[in-house]
Structure 1
Amino acid sequence: MSTSHSAPQNTRLGIWLMIATTVVFAAQDGISRHLAENYSVMMVVMIRFWFFALFVVALAARAPGGIAAASRSSYPLVQMARGLILVAEICVMVVAFVQLGLIEAHAVFTCYPLLVAALSGPVLGEKVGWRRWTAILVGFAGVLIILQPGISVFSPWALVPLLAAFMFALYGLLTRYVARKDSAAVSFFWTGAVGAVAMTPFGLWTWEWMALADWGWMATLCCTAVLGHWLLIRAFAVAEASAIQPFAYLQLVFAAGIGLTVFGETLRTNVAIGAGIVVAAGVFTLWRQRLREKAATRQA
């Protein structure tokens, strides 16, 4: 993401903003798990996206050109696909939180940067060297350690966060694709609008009234969703993505803390080892990407 001259680079601030983002997103995941244990996942996600859509529409209305400018995309079909993939990924991941818990769901989901690297060739036409391919394979060995196929009783639910990681990686790659011509504001608008429209029929079909306390949690979930995205946008506005992206892995640490203390989950040894391998492989691929970007900048 390019940075304007009015927003000078500040890597230290970018790192702290990314850390704050991971704290907010981890809290959001904990609230999502609580609500989805008692209510329909589709209804919870629908209400969250209603609030998100209102937020992006309000932002667009205040911006130069208004809603017409925010909705004007060079890739409307791809933007629509992005929104549909993201909202489906959120539903899938919330199901994983309920069935597996925050720790194991996030441990598997952390492989998504490796999937981004693996898919960047076929989707974006980027070159992936042998070092990054090696890191990708090592990372997926870590995923197998987490899943333990053939060693213990394998749960098909363990594949759910892997599906979510694949969908989120595809969403990220399509976001990079549309960024060639569409601004971040346009992508943000399409994300909220498409998600809200797509979830409304499913959410209304499964509608049920929440307890008063859970409406409070729902309101908090909506606010954390908006705050998390705002912090993330600010982080990428003040620092290079390759410098701050590794700190996104801290979401696994914070989510695990919530899982252990709030939901009484346990951290199995194989999950800790496998997650460590996945994170190390992911950080390596991000580091290689940063070297490639610096080399390309020098050649330019």
Structure 2
Amino acid sequence: MPNNRQTGPLMGPATAPPAVPPPLARPRSERQGTAILLICASALIFAAQDGVSRHLGSAYPPIFVVMLRYWFFAVFVILLCARAPGGLRRAIRSKRPWTQAFRSVLLVAEVVVTVEAFVRLGLINTHAIFACYPLLISALSGPFLGEKVGWRRWAAVAVGFAGILIVLKPGSGVFTAEAVLPFVGAAMFAVYGLLTRLVGRDDPAMTSFFWTGVAGAVAITLIGIWHWEPIAGRDIPWLLVLCLTAVAAHFMLIKAYELAEASALQPFSYTQLVWVSIFGVLIFGETLAPNVAAGGVIVIGAGLFTWWRARQRERAGPS
């Protein structure tokens, strides 16, 4: 998300892709079509990864699972940055090291909270609420980045939160304190996204990517190592799947953002919620309750409206 690039709205457990060199010399329509296929494929992989995270998180402490995943991801980040122009020496240099460290730790905490939500609430309910994070970014972009938030965006935020209330059904006896977890995760991911845009004003994208993976791995290790548990043989293949799919999905994201702008790809990342719903129902026996479906549609609709308004402002240019 440096330089105003963002992951899709349902990709909370994933880290942000780095900005990359200009698109290759191919027809624009062909590049964008390939990028859309890649973003949809990454959404499918992230949904499968969330299912694996839920399975492992129910057998082991989520913080332990996230630590192992971050170790693998940090190796991927180091190898990628080492091959980039300037290598690791350039990637590690930051004009905002404390902000970089804080946003990296914040992302780690968000992933742990979200995995815990998967275990307690299921994939469908978690993602239906987590989908509000683009609305939180819109609401917080004023105090964080000094951006002007117009009445249309505030209206979209209000509608989105009405959708969340439909999902949660407060006062019906269904609402529990655990239902706050995905909202907390969404808020953390929104702040992470805003801080990523902030550091992107001074640091190159690869620097932010390096700090995300490496500083995040160090932070989670300091806490997660105390939750170490022996891994059952039957779970080792699942752990490998979790790590390998993370690398594959991030590689697809990087390639997608090489070919097209993030603003053009953002709506297609909502396909992750479709896959999550399918996996939740067919594999984990979850129920797609009518209020969750209706509330999720409202939240996504509000998010798409904020995306559309952002596109309109970009096309209009500075006033």
TM-score by length of 2: 0.90
| Equivalent residue number for residue 40 of structure 2 | 19
Work out whether 1:61 is the aligned partner of 2:82: yes
Structure 2 Cα separation of the partners of residues 231 and 172 of structure 1: 20
Residue 187 (structure 1) aligns with = 208
Name the residue aligned to 1:277: 298
User: Could you list the runs of 5+ residues in structure 1 that have no partner in the other structure?
Assistant: none
1:36 aligns with 2:57: yes
- The answer to whether the 8 Å contact 2:23/2:259 transfers is no
- Aligned pairs (5 A) from 1:91-110: 91-110=112-131
User: Which moves more between the two structures, 129-138 or 95-104?
Assistant: 129-138
Residue 94 of structure 2 aligns with which residue?
73
Please, which of 126, 134, 141 is the counterpart of residue 147 of structure 2? 126
Residue 3 of structure 1 deviates from its aligned partner by 6.7
Q: CA deviation at 1:181?
A: 2.3
**Residue of structure 2 in register with 1:147 after alignment:** 168
8 Å CA contact 2:22–2:258 kept in 1: the answer is no
1:148 counterpart letter in structure 2: K
Q: Distance in 2 between matches of 1:249 and 1:63?
A: 30
- Could you tell which deviates more after superposition, 137-146 or 232-241? 232-241
Distance in 2 (alpha carbons) for counterparts of 1:5 and 1:46: 33
Whole-Å separation in 2 of the counterparts to 1:211 and 1:131: 52
Letter in 2 for 1:280: G
User: What is the CA deviation profile of residues 66-107 of structure 1, one whole-angstrom value per residue up to 9, with x for unaligned ones?
Assistant: 211110112111111111010000000000000000000000
SS of the residue 1:87 aligns to:
helix
Which residue in the other structure is 1:209 paired with?
230
Conservation of the 8 A alpha-carbon contact between 2:135 and 2:160: yes
Are 1:70 and 1:186, in contact at CA under 8 Å, matched by a contact in 2?
Answer: yes
**Consecutive unaligned residues in structure 2, runs of 5 or more:** 6-18
Are 2:153 and 1:136 equivalent residues in the alignment? no
Q: How far, CA to CA, are the matches of 1:117 and 1:255 in structure 2? A: 25
Residues 3, 238 of structure 1: 8 Å contact kept: no
Is 1:7 the equivalent of 2:33?
no
Give the aligned partner of residue 199 of structure 1.
220
Distance in 2 (alpha carbons) for counterparts of 1:3 and 1:98: 35
- The residue aligned with 2:10 is none
Q: In 1, distance between residues paired with 2:296 and 2:140? A: 21
> What TM-score does the superposition give when structure 1 sets the normalisation length?
0.95
Match of residue 116, structure 1, among 137, 149, 160? 137
| Distance in structure 2 (CA, Å) of the matches to 1:245 and 1:6 | 17
Aligned length, in residue pairs:
298
Give the Cα separation in 2 of the matches to 1:96 and 1:170: 19
User: How far did 1:213 drift?
Assistant: 2.2
Aligned CA RMSD, in angstroms, stands at 1.5
Q: Report the CA distance between 1:24 and its aligned residue.
A: 0.9
Which residue of the partner structure matches residue 16 of structure 2? none
C-alpha separation between the residues in 2 aligned to 1:165 and 1:85? 11
Structure 1 position 255 matched with structure 2 position 272? no
Aligned-residue offset at 1:129: 1.2
2-structure distance, mates of 1:142, 1:233: 32
2:195 aligned to 170, 174, 186, which one?
Answer: 174
Question: Which shifted more, 90-99 or 212-221?
Answer: 212-221
1:127 is paired with a residue of what secondary structure? coil
Moved more, 163-172 or 234-243: 234-243
Q: Is the 8 A contact 1:99 1:157 kept in 2?
A: yes
Question: Could you tell me how far 1:214 is from its partner in structure 2?
Answer: 0.8
Q: Provide Cα deviations, 1:40-68, integer angstroms capped at 9, x if missing partner.
A: 11111001011111111122222332211
* Structure 1 residue 161, shift from structure 2 partner: 0.1
Identity %: 55
Q: Taking structure 1 as reference, are residues 72 and 264 closer, same or farther at Cα in structure 2, changes over 3 Å only?
A: same
Counterpart-to-counterpart distance in 2, 1:139 and 1:79: 30
Aligned partner of 1:294 in structure 2 is 315
Partner of 1:228: 249
Are residues 1:267 and 2:288 paired? yes
Corresponding position of 2:179: 158
Distance 1:238 1:74 in 2: 28
Give the superposition deviation at 1:170: 0.8
Q: Which moved more, 1:263-272 or 1:208-217?
A: 208-217
Offset of 1:7 from its aligned partner?
A: 2.8
